[in-house]
Every structure is written in structure tokens, then in C-alpha cells.
Amino acid sequence: MKEKALTVIFCGGGTGGHVFPSLALAQRLREKHAGSKILFLGKKGKLEEYLAAKNDFAFHDIACCQFPEKGIADFFRFILRTLAGTISSLKIILREKPDFIIGSGGYVSIPGVAAGLLTGKKVYLLEQNVIPGKTNKIFALFARKIFTGLPVSGKMKLRDKWVYTGNPLRTNLKLVSRDSALRYFGMNRKPFCIGIIGGSQGAAGINGVMPEALNLMKNRDKSQVIHIAGRKCADAVIKKYRDFNIDAKVLEFIDDIENFYSAIDVIVSRAGALALAEISYYRLPALLIPFPHAAQDHQKLNAELVSGTGAACWLNEGEAIPPKIANALDRMLDDAGLRGKMRASWEKFYRTDSAGRIIEIIEEDMNGGKKTV
């Protein structure tokens, strides 16, 4: 039976961790409900605008502001920008009449989610991390369901609303043969290939130390590197690898991410929820270096959770000096049995078709608790 077309609004953005799960869910909705109208409300010039356009989704720029940190001026700026964004969102919601609204957390989602609640629309939230952010904690009181990418820690109000589904993954993720993936990068096979990724905007703390760390490895000459450095850092990273004469492919960004993950044996990464979801899909032994300024230190908590199962090892950024990184990577590369155990441990975190499961729960909720067929 043909599924009816829907109108759905996604609110949020700013970072890949907020944008990519929403994008994956939107893609899955469009597949299941052909002809649906899907809109993204976010911040102009950010990742959400680029990805919405690239995937033929409508995008609307909405005023928003980070939570005030200090001073009365910051407080009033937050109130005024959020109020302006909420009014704009109200107009869009009243015009488009969405069936439901999805908030992906973070301050960018506040105006759209607030407007949705004010108009009585059904609101669902995506919480990517092991500890919920401030925005989702507030809106969880009023949302229908909160879908979590990792098991949520701590005592949560209305615990039955929180559903552990895993983070939705982009539809282009698939396993490519190692040889095919290496050819994509113009690389030949060596015993080992190390992947480095710092996040959608690059990670200066990782980019700055990795070339020297790889130069110190025992397995230096047996290894090649694919390093996604971000647009701001790529040129400087390329120069460092050349100075050390290391076989490295440095990229600003990559759309065909399946080739990156399929080409590598181990990965060095931040510990954001999106990165962990994708690493779990490919079951990659990982060295995690959490972003130290993440809200509520959630990346450290994410890293502790996955490393506690043996899927990864991790270092605080302050401890992530080249000799320690080199030792951690050599330990993984020297021990095939350890790598096998790390891969197996990712099974605890991978959830099959998270996007499909989320849609199924939403449909059931909208249908008065009855399962759709």
C-alpha cells in the first residue's frame, strides 16, 4: 500500500552531529513517503543550508543565538534573537501545516521547536549523545518522544519518552572493497591504512599533532594515511606531512565517506555521536580524542562509554602528545587479535536501520498507538 505524503519540518544544525542524523531521517522519510514535503529550519551559511540544498530539501534561515554565557547584554541578545526566530518559525508552520516536527538539539533548534509546541504540533527530538544537551532537556518535557543515539546516562524525567534507537546514518553508507576504496584515493595497498577525521569543521587539536605522531610510529613505513582535515586546516596539514615525508592523502571534506571508512584499518577521531555511529557501522578499531570544549563534556562521556566495552581507546586532548598517540596506534596495528576484539565490541552500539525504527515509532504514535502495516 502506498504511504501518504507528509509535510515534516526539521529544526537544528550548526555541526555535523546535529545535521547528519536529521538528513538521514529526512532521506528515509522521502523514500518511504514519496512526494513528502520536507523543510529544514537552520542558520544561513552553515552545514544545514549546504546539505539541504545538495539533497533537494527546502531550507529557511531562522534567527537564533547561543545560550548566554555572561552579562545582561548576552542574555537580552539571546532573548531577542530567539523571539525573532520563533516568530519566523510560527509563520512557516502556520503556512506549511506540518504533520510533525523534528528537533535535533542545540540552540539552532530552539525557535522551530518552540513554535511547533506553541501551535500544538507533535514534536519529536533527536538526542545524539550519552548525556542530553540543555535544549533537549528542556523540550523533553513537552515532546512526544526523544530518540537517543547512545544509551542516555543519569536520571531523566519521563523516562518512558526516551527511546534508544541509535543515530540515523546517511543512506550512502555502505561497505566498499578495500582495493576499490584505495583506488578512489589514488593509493596503493600497504599493510596498514590509518584514517584521521576531526569533525565536519576540522579539529585543530588533532590536525596539529598527527603528522609528528605518525612519524614516531614503529609502523610508519608500513602505513599510509587518509586525513580529513577540514577546510581551514588542510594546507598546513599537507605541509607537515611533506616535511616528514609521510605517505598521506589530505582532504578538506569528503562526500563519498564510504570510501574513507572502507579503505582504513584503524581511525583517529573526535568522540562526537555522529562519528561514533559511523565508526560502529564499519566496526573500526578507534583512538578517540574528545573535543575538550564540548557542551557538558559530552564527548569525554561518549569516549568513556565506548572504550569501556573495548571498542576504542581514548586520550584527553591535553594528553594526546605525539609519543602517546604513536604508541596507541602501534599497539593496535601490531596486534590483529586486539583489532578483532575491538571490531566485535562495536556490535553493542550499532543499531540496524535507526531511521526506519524512528519513523515506525512516530507513525505508531501518530496513529494513536496502533502499529502501521
pLDDT tens-digit profile of 347-371? 888 888 899 999 999 999 998 866 6
- Total structural domains within the chain: 2
- Domain co-membership, 139 together with 212: no
Domain assignment present for 173: no
Task: Judge contact between 217 and 223, C-beta under 8 A.
Answer: yes
- Domain co-membership, 35 together with 139: yes
- Give me the residues paired with residue 42 across strands: 61
Q: Is residue 157 very low, low, confident or very high in pLDDT (cuts 50, 70, 90)?
A: low
Q: Is residue 308 very low, low, confident or very high in pLDDT (cuts 50, 70, 90)?
A: very high
Q: What secondary structure does DSSP assign to 52-72, as a single string?
A: HHHTT-EEEE----PPP-SHH
Judged by average pLDDT, the poorest of 68-77, 115-124, 264-273 is 68-77
- Domain co-membership, 127 together with 217: no
**Grid coordinates belonging to 9:** 519540518
Q: Is residue 141 very low, low, confident or very high in pLDDT (cuts 50, 70, 90)?
A: very high
Return the percentage of the chain with pLDDT > 90, whole number: 70
Task: Judge contact between 68 and 38, C-beta under 8 A.
Answer: no
Q: Is residue 1 very low, low, confident or very high in pLDDT (cuts 50, 70, 90)?
A: very low
d(CA 131, CA 301): 8
d(CA 285, CA 102): 32
Task: Judge contact between 41 and 60, C-beta under 8 A.
Answer: yes
Domain assignment present for 28: yes
Closest among 272, 284, 276 to 333, alpha carbons compared: 284
Domain range holding 100?
7-166+352-366
Query: What pTM did the predictor assign?
Result: 0.84
Say which residue, 297 or 182, is predicted with more confidence: 182
- Domain co-membership, 235 together with 333: yes
Judged by average pLDDT, the poorest of 150-154, 156-160, 221-225 is 156-160
Average pLDDT over residues 75-86: 94
Three-state SS letters, 257-314: HHHHHHHCCEEEECCCHHHHHHHHHHCCCEEECCCCCCHHHHHHHHHHHHHCCCCEEE
- Domain co-membership, 77 together with 106: yes
- Domain co-membership, 19 together with 159: yes
Domain assignment present for 1: no
Task: Judge contact between 124 and 103, C-beta under 8 A.
Answer: yes
Residue 203 reports pLDDT greater than 70? no
Q: What secondary structure does DSSP assign to 163-204, as a single string?
A: EE------TT-----HHHHHHHTT----SEEEEEE--TT--H
d(CA 285, CA 293): 24
- Domain co-membership, 298 together with 334: yes
CATH number of the CATH domain containing 158: 3.40.50.2000
Handedness of CA 154, 157, 163, 165 (dihedral sign): negative
Q: Given the C-alpha cell 562495536, which residue does it identify?
A: 346
pLDDT tens-digit profile of 276-300? 999 999 999 999 999 888 877 889 9
Residue 252 reports pLDDT greater than 60? yes
Domain assignment present for 371: no
- Domain co-membership, 244 together with 342: yes
pLDDT tens-digit profile of 106-117? 999 999 999 999
Cα 309 to chain center, whole Å? 21
Task: Judge contact between 126 and 147, C-beta under 8 A.
Answer: yes
d(CA 99, CA 130): 29
- Domain co-membership, 75 together with 155: yes
Cβ-Cβ contacts under 8 Å for 243 (sequence gap 6 or more): 211
**Grid coordinates belonging to 97:** 501545516
Element (H, E) at 249: strand 248-251
d(CA 114, CA 109): 8
Average pLDDT over residues 67-75: 86
Residue 372 reports pLDDT greater than 60? no
Q: At what angle do helices 16-32 and 354-366 cross, to 10 degrees?
A: 70
Residue 60 reports pLDDT greater than 90? yes
Domain assignment present for 96: yes
- Domain co-membership, 157 together with 29: yes
Q: Is residue 154 very low, low, confident or very high in pLDDT (cuts 50, 70, 90)?
A: low
Say which residue, 336 or 129, is predicted with more confidence: 336
Domain assignment present for 373: no
Task: Judge contact between 230 and 198, C-beta under 8 A.
Answer: yes
Say which residue, 158 or 215, is predicted with more confidence: 215
Average pLDDT over residues 172-181: 89
Per-residue pLDDT at 153: 64
- Domain co-membership, 161 together with 206: no
> C-alpha angle with apex 84: 79 to 90, nearest 5 degrees?
120
Per-chain mean pLDDT for the chain: 90
- Domain co-membership, 194 together with 289: yes
Domain assignment present for 372: no
